[in-house]
Structure 1
C-alpha cells in the first residue's frame, strides 16, 4: 500500500514538474500581501491575473489595526534577461482605506470613522520559481491620499507571497 502510494506521488510530481518547467510564467496567482512602512502594517489576501504576457491586474484586501484597505492595481511586467523567473514591473491603482476612530493613522482632530481615497503607484520585482508554483514580489508603493487633507507617504512597501495557477 505504501509502495503504490509513493509511486503515484512520484509520478504526479514528475508530471507536474515537467509541466511547470515548460511554462515560465503564470496566468493567475493567489496569495498574501503585506504592506509595510511608515504607519501600520497591513496584511491580507491578494490575487494577480495576467491579461496577456505583459499586462496584469492585482486586487487585494488588507487588514491592520482598525484599518481595512481595498485596492486594485494595473501593472506592466517585463522579464529580466538572463535571470530566469525574475521580472520587473511598474503600475498604479486606486484604493479605498476604511479607518475607524481608534486607528493609529488618526490625529487628534480627526477622531471619526471615514474612508480615504488614494492612488498608489508601484515599482517592483517579482520572482516566479521556475520549478515550483510559487512567486514572490517586493515593491515600493508610495501612498498618495487624495481625501481628508491630501497627503503623500513615500515610505511604503509591499511584499507578496503567491501560489501560481495556470
Structure 2
C-alpha cells in the first residue's frame, strides 16, 4: 500500500512539474527541503511547490523522523506584499498521513494541517525560503490538536 501511494505521489510531482503557470508566487515551481518542528518530533524531507495560476499553489512533501514517515499535500492561497520584491504571504490547508513504527506494532495517523506563513524569494538567485505556523489536527487514534507546530522550507526555484 505504501509503495503504491508513493508511486502515485511521484507521478503527481512529474505531472505538476511539466505544467506552466503564471502565479502570485515569484516562481512557478520549486523543490527543496522541508523541516516540520515544534512540540514533539522534528521531521525533515523533500518538498515541491507548484503554482497553478493566479494565487493558487500546491505543496507536497515526504518527511522523515525517528520511526515515522509523513506524506502531505497542501493547497495554498499566495499573495505578494505590495512594495516588496519577493516577499509574500500565504494561507492553506491539506491532508497528511503518517506511518509510525512503534516496534511490535505499526499505526497510521490521518491529519489536517492548516498553515499560515511568509515566503521570500531572493530576487537575484533561484532560492526561496518559507516559515509558517502549521498546527497538527489529528483525526485518528483519539483525535487531538497540536497548535505548537511550525515548518521551515529551503527551496531551489526551477522557473
TM score, norm. by length of structure 1? 0.79
Q: Deviations over 1:50-78 (max 9, x none)?
A: 00131000000000011100000000000
Q: What residue is the counterpart of 2:84 in the other structure?
A: 83
Q: Does 2:51 match 1:53?
A: no
Residues 1:33 and 2:26 aligned together:
no
Q: Does 1:151 align with 2:144?
A: yes
Work out which of the two has the higher radius of gyration on C-alpha atoms and give 1 or 2.
1
Residue 64 of structure 1 corresponds to 65
Higher relative strand content: 2
User: Does residue 127 in structure 1 map to residue 128 in structure 2?
Assistant: no
- Partner of residue 106 from structure 2, selected from 105, 109, 113: 113
Whole-angstrom distance in 2 between the partners of 1:53 and 1:163:
21
- Distance in 1 between residues matched to 2:141 and 2:149, nearest whole Å: 19
TM-fit CA distance, 1:84: 1.1
Report how far residue 42 of structure 1 moved.
Answer: 0.1
1:108-166: CA deviations, max 9, x gaps?
Answer: xxx73110000000000000001110000000000000000000000000000000011
Aligned residue-pair number: 135
**Off by >2 Å, runs of 4+ in structure 1:** none
What CA distance in whole angstroms lies between the structure 2 residues aligned with 1:93 and 1:62?
15
Gaps of 5+ in 2: 1-24
Gaps in structure 1 of 5+ consecutive residues: 1-23, 103-110
Give the TM-score taking structure 2 as reference length.
0.83
Q: Distance in 2 between the 1:83 and 1:39 partners?
A: 35
CA distance in 1, matches of 2:65, 2:154: 18
Aligned counterparts of 2:68 and 2:40: Cα–Cα separation in 1: 11
Q: CA RMSD in A?
A: 1.1
